[in-house]
Amino acid sequence: MTLPRPPSVDKIILRGLHFFGRHGTSAAERELGQLFIVDLHLLTGDLSPAAAADDLHQTVDYAAVYDHVKHVVQGPPRHLLETVATDIIQTLLRQHQRVQEVTCRVSKLHAPLAGRVGLGTVAVEITRSRA
């Protein structure tokens, strides 16, 4: 007896997207702004039809994803990285019907901490699925 195969779940991954934004809890962060780095994992359905047809319209256009993320990060200031990540996720799920789930990590390179962070970053990672 052969077990049914689960549906294919493929991913489109964008890492290290750099954007300038004005997010943070302090007035100085919102006034001066800083660099944010966004990493995305977009779970889609089976991408083999897009690959077989070599057709951008059958997949998720990562250039459009980049533009949507840029619009959010460079948009209105937010106090929390959690809000920035959630705004990105909601935008991507709304704009890209093939995307079933988004994992979004937003990293801040220069968080205002009492000690030195060195080369480390502060980040939030949130995953949400299509309802």
pLDDT by 10-residue block (mean), the chain, 131 residues? 73 98 91 95 94 94 98 97 98 97 94 63 93 73
What does each C-alpha distance from 69 to 1, 21, 78 come to in angstroms? 46, 11, 14
> Which residues make beta-bridge pairs with 17?
38
Give the strands of the sheet with 99-108, arranged side by side: 10-21, 34-44, 99-108, 122-129
108 is catalytic: yes
> Can you list the domains of the chain with their CATH numbers?
10-129 (3.30.1130.10)
Give the per-residue pLDDT at 51.
Answer: 93
Question: Which of 78, 96, 105, 108 is labelled catalytic?
Answer: 108
pTM score of the predicted model = 0.89
pLDDT at 28: 86
